Amino acid sequence: MSTTTSDSRGVSWSVVGPFVANQVLATVSGLPLGYYEINVSAAFMGPMDQTMVTNLKLTASGNTLPIMSTSSNTNFVAFRNPTIYINLEGGEDVVVSVNNLSAALGTSAGSVIITRHQ
Amino acid sequence: MAEPESLNTMFQNSFIKTGDGDYGLKIQGTAASGNVLVAISQTGSNNQVQSLIPTAARTSSLTASGQATNPTAGQALATTASLAIGVWDIEATGFVTWTTVPGVDSLNLELRQNAVSLGKIVVPVGGTTGAVANGVFKMRLNVTVAGALSVNVVGTPTTNSIYVTTVAATRVM
């Protein structure tokens, strides 16, 4: 409550496959108690593997939220996840990671931006 | 009832301590119940007054996403938990890939709450390889009947097309 101004921080990633289950791509740590807005942009750049389209997840405060990164055949397509709001109790990490094992040899790239509102 | 000795005495029960150096003006109940109108924070020698968002507005988002190859007409790709009665900000996105008939797939994802249509997600399917960007649908919804939010396929998609969607809902009142 003593915080009257918002602050943002962000982490980006660019990781070449193949990917293993629960592989961590980005971590934002040291977040104090508060109410946060989270925006994730992600993309997958070929060689194409559709298993990667919905193979990212955001973990925060014990919750696992889906992230969708898209790809269109051999094209590169960026994707911005819907804005998510979440309460954090403090001392928790916000992590972007891989859901399931994937043999995709392409590159997963993206960023997660977190803004504290209260 | 005795007259208060001073204004300080009169209002002393209207303020409650909510943190180290922080005090909230109480409407009723306690800070823990969320019934605090404003907070007065002391940072160094400065006092700051801060409006507090109602407890409901600090609700974490409900989210869901899904993907399907050759989905069927009416199929739900993503379904959230039930939205309680209240006002919600909703943002849904859709994407279609590996399709060859843009006209069919560009307006074929529908956002529904409690099985009632809210509108369609326009997906910019511009070529033979599918969408060139994700379609976005944003709205503020006054939920009068509790029920889940879903993104459904409307008609039969182009053969071999892949539909993906993500939806998030945040209660604001």
Residue A71, pLDDT score: 58
pLDDT in tens, B115-157: 999 999 999 887 777 777 789 999 999 999 999 999 999 999 9
E strand spans, B3-158: 15-19, 22-26, 36-43, 46-51, 62-69, 76-83, 86-97, 109-113, 116-121, 125-127, 130-131, 135-143, 147-153
- Beta carbons of A53 and B91 less than 8 Å apart: no
d(CA B34, CA A44): 43
Mutate to test the interface with A, among B53, B134, B137 (most CBs of A within 10 A): B134
Task: Using a CB–CB cutoff of 8 Å, tell me whether B50 touches chain A.
Answer: yes
Q: Which residue has the higher pLDDT, A18 or B58?
A: A18
Smallest CA–CA distance from A75 into chain B, residue: B129
Lookup: tokens for B88: 């919600």
Q: What digits encode the pLDDT tens for the residues A30-69? A: 888 888 999 998 887 776 566 676 788 899 877 888 887 6
Does residue A118 or residue A113 have the better pLDDT?
Answer: A113
CA distance A65 to chain B (A): 7
For the whole model, what pTM was predicted? 0.73
Residue B171 has a pLDDT of 93
CB distance from B140 to chain A under 8 Å?
A: no
> In this predicted model, what pLDDT tens digit does every residue of A70-106 receive, in sequence order?
655 555 666 778 899 998 888 889 999 998 888 878 8
Measured CA to CA, the distance from residue B149 to residue B112 in angstroms comes to 6
Taking 70 as the pLDDT cut, the residues of chain B under it are 1-58
With beta carbons under 8 A apart, name residues in chain A contacting B68: none
Interface of A with B (CB under 8 A): 1-2, 4, 35, 50, 53-54, 61, 63, 65-68, 70-75, 77-87, 118
A63: which chain B residues are within 8 Å (Cβ-Cβ)? Answer: 60
Tell me if B76 sits within 8 A of B144, measured CB to CB.
no
Asked if pLDDT for residue A28 goes beyond 70, the answer is: yes
Would you state the pLDDT for residue A4? Answer: 44
- pLDDT given for residue B118 in this prediction: 97
